[in-house]
Amino acid sequence: MIIVMSPNATKENLEKVVKKVEAAGLRTHISEGEEVTIVGVIGDKKKIANLEMNMMDGVEKTVRITEKYKLVSRNFHPEDTIVDVDGVKVGGKQIVVMAGPCSVESVEQLREAAKAVKAGGAQFLRGGAFKPRTSPYDFQGLAEDGLKMLRQVADEEGLKVVTEIVDKDDMELVGKYADIYQVGARNMQNFQLLKALGKADKPVMLKRGLSATISEWLNAAEYIMAGGNERVILCERGIRTYETFTRNTLDLSAVAAVKELSHLPIIVDPSHGTGRWQMVQPMARAAVAAGCDGLIIEVHPHPEVALSDGDQSLTPKNFNRLMEDLGKIAAVMERTV
């Protein structure tokens, strides 16, 4: 349920509403917008069903919410959320770009990539230190050594770090080096990890699962927000369909759907979404036109020798060309890159 306060409701009216809801054994989530204040009611469905609020002073109306996700819902929070990552805002007018190699391979490789993406206009350095791979024989990452390299090189170039966490027991370790915890597609419904990240003091980027519906994805985000961490960023990275030409099917309609259903910012991963470097550029351009809040793109200085995902990685030259294109499209959308 959401309780919509009238425009002339007083602070005392709001306090009485919150007090009554909490007295019923329920929790509240207050969203104060420019024009209206909304009180989200969370808890036992039976208790909510028996809650009568329409007759209270300052209450304009109550609305029953049918979705299982609440805190993620735009009904609970009508205005867009902007996630501040140490001064870099995800959401709002500027479209953020996260770029770098799929996997951290060496300091030299990472430094060359970081210089290139920084020069191109990226704000974040991406790179995997823990790599969950389909085959147990594929490169699995450099673990803490890789994290140290990420932090060192990112600091040299003035970039923020986004990297994947695959186990809740690694939260403290990854948190020492990362500015954003990335939850990969294979862990979207790792509920113990999501619950742990709900108590984290850093933003979380939640990738959509390989076969997840939008509702399942938003419910996964609800696990994080229900734990108290409201700095959640969604990431569309393609879903599994019967198509075999591309690695996945990039679902750009999810951008519009999320904007309608949720207040959370959404970024797009055209690298994993297509698996083909030739398609990364057109899909990135389309994602910006669709209204995404950012992009995460794989860039490798020498993709022909990359230890993972070289086929979907842009060279620095192609990344620069893409960034020039994105600036033009963003301007049409009255945004910047």
pLDDT by residue (tens digit) across 272-324? 999 999 999 999 999 999 999 999 999 999 999 998 889 999 999 999 999 99
Residue 265 CA to its chain's centroid (Å):
6
**Among the listed residues 195, 165, 168, 169, the one whose alpha carbon sits nearest the alpha carbon of residue 181:** 165
Give the CATH superfamily of 2-63: Phospho-2-dehydro-3-deoxyheptonate aldolase; domain 1 (3.30.70.1140)
**C-beta separation of 263 from 293 below 8 A:** no
Q: Judging by beta carbons within 10 Å of its beta carbon (0-12, 13-18, 19+), is residue 186 exposed, middle or buried?
A: middle
The pair of structure tokens assigned to 1 is: 């349920």
pLDDT tens digits, 229-239:
999 999 999 99
φ, ψ dihedrals at 296, nearest 5°: -120, 120
- What's the rounded Cα separation, in Å, for the pair 118 and 232? 24
Q: Which tokens is 202 given?
A: 């850093």
Q: How do the residues of the chain divide into helix, strand and coil, expressed in percent and rounded to 5? A: 40, 20, 40
- Give me the residues paired with residue 206 across strands: 183, 234
Identity at 253, one-letter amino acid code: S
Tell me the whole-structure pTM to 2 decimals: 0.91
**CB-based contacts of 282, cutoff 8 Å, min separation 6:** none
Break the chain into its structural domains and give their ranges. 2-63, 83-332
Please tell me the CATH code under which domain 83-332 is placed.
Answer: 3.20.20.70
Over 90: is that where the pLDDT of 140 sits?
Answer: no
